[in-house]
Homo-oligomer: A and B are copies of this chain.
Amino acid sequence: MPHTAARTPWKLAARTARMNASAIREILKLAELPGTLSLAGGLPSAATFPVEAVREATARVLRDSPREALQYAASEGFAPLRDWVATQMAGQGVDADAANVLITTGSQQGLDLVAKVLIDAGSSVAVESPTYLGALQAFVAYEPRFVAVECDDGGPLPEALGDVAGARFLYALANFQNPSGRSIDGARRAALARAAAAAGVPIVEDNPYGELWYDAPPPPPIASHWREGTVYLGSFSKVLAPGLRLGYVIAPPALFARLVHAKQAADLHTPVFNQRVVHEIVRDGFLDAHVPTIRARYRAQRDAMAAALAAHLPTSGPFACRWRTPAGGMFFWVELPQDVDSEALLAKALERGVAFVPGAPFFAGTPRRNTMRLSFVTLDPASIERGVAAIAAALGELRDEVVAPRAAAAGGRR
């Protein structure tokens, strides 16, 4: 009886069988062990948090509008913050009205609300492969069937959209995707929007990392090419601080009221105290000066990881690894030699005091086990060099102990 907890009166919903603890969560616990150098985290660097700005904004909110900041508030969100988001989006080429902006408790909640409103049990949802694990977790609670859209190094293939016709939506990260770090260029975005419209597959575009560009600003969102067919999700977690849990959803009118109903049922509204504090911080252009400081920090760390990978990992021969330097975001995605399981590599790396995230959990379908995700945002360049060197050494050890003998044995059987 898989859905009845033993000797208790509780009968669990069928969906719980698919709602498991994130494998990454367990790895992150290992990564937090004292003395472990972690390339595993998905956290921004706490050194980027604008503590003084939060302090001042909090004091002003509690001085000027304490009762409003502590009372129940509108499910849609704090109106001036919705206005601010709409204005920002206009700057990115997305014609949004504040009336289409829903403030959410982090963009993770946006994923949950979108799924609640669009997914029926057994309906299909198209995803990139790999894709953001947290989205799979949000969606799976509504019991969809995942279908992977065919992708290349530039993102989903427009000509493959017809293959996922009937999907309730395509979930896509256009900028510096978690976990792969890849971006979709401007021409591909336009082509995807056209192909999706032709196939009748709307798009859920998630953009937590768009502001974290290190070479050039990204092109306008997919949403700018197909406003009525795209739901766009944004977040303050990477440009301000995730502990405030503030994100937003921009949805076309056909969906907006439904999302508000779902929001009301989910938590009535996002803490209005947090919304007012964040609005107080961002209203006068604070991010224009702050975000470049985050970019400068992360860019140097990205460059350090690029150099360390080039110095330590083999890129040719039978044991070659493959990666590309991401143009933004938080992660390198490394393809290990075909017969290396990154979970085995993790075990070896942990022995050397270094943690990372194996790639398998990021695949909705058949995982590519020879992949791993390395975060460069929380460690200084010297630690990044040390961490990558240790992973390379662990890889060498794995090759000598496990993979090479196995290859020899396989050769012997032929």
Contacts and interface: CB of A to CB of B under 8 A. Distances in A.
A109 to B, nearest CB: 4
Contacts of A271: 105, 243-245, 271, 274
A20 B261 CA distance: 6
Interface string A100-136: 0000111011001000111111010000000000100
Contact of A137 (B10, B168, B265): B265
Given A5-B254, A9-B200, A9-B229, A266 B268 contact: no
A59 interface: yes
B20 A267 contact: no
Contacts of A16: 117, 258, 261
Contact of A245 (B54, B66, B270): B270
Interface string A232-245: 00000100011111
Interface residues of A, number: 87
Nearest to A62: B55
Interface string A324-351: 0000000000000000000000000000
Interface stretch (A43-51, A148-156, A305-313, A384-392): A43-51
A43 B19 contact: no
A243 B70 contact: yes
Contacts of A359: none
Contacts of A72: 42-43, 237, 242-243
Contact of A13 (B5, B54, B112, B142): B142
Interface string A261-279: 1101111111111100000
B9 A202 contact: yes
A106 B266 CA distance: 9
When all copies of this chain in the complex are counted, the total is 2
B71 A51 contact: no
B73 A243 contact: yes
A407 interface: no
Given A12-B258, A137-B265, A265-B141, A46 B59 contact: no
A273 B243 contact: yes
A403 to B, nearest CB: 35
A379 interface: no
Given A5-B254, A13-B117, A245-B269, A49 B62 contact: no
A120 B14 contact: yes
A67 B49 contact: yes
A257 interface: yes
A267 B9 contact: no
A265 to B, nearest CB: 4
A88 interface: no
B274 A168 contact: no
A197 interface: yes
Contacts of A59: 55, 58-59
A44 B70 CA distance: 10
A59 B118 CA distance: 42
A268 B54 CA distance: 22
Contacts of A168: 11, 13
14 contacts: A13-B123, A16-B261, A19-B262, A20-B261, A46-B70, A51-B66, A58-B59, A69-B243, A108-B265, A108-B266, A116-B141, A137-B264, A241-B273, A245-B271
Given A51-B70, A116-B141, 11 more contacts: A8-B228, A8-B252, A9-B202, A13-B120, A16-B117, A49-B71, A51-B62, A51-B67, A108-B265, A140-B265, A245-B271
